[in-house]
Amino acid sequence: MTPIVYVISDSVGETAEFVVRAAASQFNGSRAEIRRISYVDDMEPIRETVQAAKEIGALIAYTLVIPELKEGLVREAQEHGVTAVDIMGPMVSAFQSNFQAEPKNRPGLLHQLDDEYFRRVEAIEFAVKYDDGKDPRGLLRADVILIGVSRTSKTPLSMFLAHKRLKAANVPLVPEVEPPEELFEVSPHKVIGLTISVGELNLIRTERLKALGLREEANYAAFERIKLELEYAERIMKKIGCPMIDVSNKAVEETASIILDQIKRGSRRS
Range 150-165 average pLDDT: 95
CATH label, 115-269, candidates 1.10.10, 1.20.58, 3.30.450, 3.40.50: 3.40.50
Give the pLDDT band of residue 55 (cuts 50, 70, 90): very high
pLDDT tens digits for range 69-112: 999 999 999 999 999 999 887 877 777 777 787 766 555 555 55
Instruction: State the binding site for ADP.
Output: 148-155
Instruction: Please tell me the predicted confidence (pLDDT) of residue 11.
Output: 81
**Which residues belong to CATH 3.40.50 in the chain?**
4-111, 115-269
Instruction: Please tell me the predicted confidence (pLDDT) of residue 47.
Output: 96
d(CA 198, CA 209): 16
- Residue (of 102, 105, 24, 120) closest to 63 by Cα position: 105
d(CA 203, CA 101): 52
Identify the helix (H) or strand (E) that includes residue 148: strand 144-148
Dihedral (C-alpha) 121, 163, 133, 254: value to the nearest 10 degrees?
180
Q: In the chain, helix, strand, coil percent, each to 5?
A: 55, 15, 30
**How large is the greatest C-alpha to C-alpha distance in the chain, in angstroms?**
64
Q: Does residue 29 carry a pLDDT above 80?
A: no
Q: Is the Cβ–Cβ distance between 240 and 194 less than 8 Å?
A: no
pLDDT tens digits for range 218-236: 899 999 999 999 999 999 9
Q: Does residue 149 carry a pLDDT above 60?
A: yes
Identify the helix (H) or strand (E) that includes residue 225: helix 223-240
Instruction: State the binding site.
Output: 148-155
CATH label, 4-111, candidates 3.40.50, 3.30.300, 1.10.1060, 1.10.3470: 3.40.50
d(CA 186, CA 138): 11
Give the pLDDT band of residue 202 (cuts 50, 70, 90): very high
The helix/strand count (H/E) of the chain reads as 9, 8
Mean pLDDT of the chain: 89
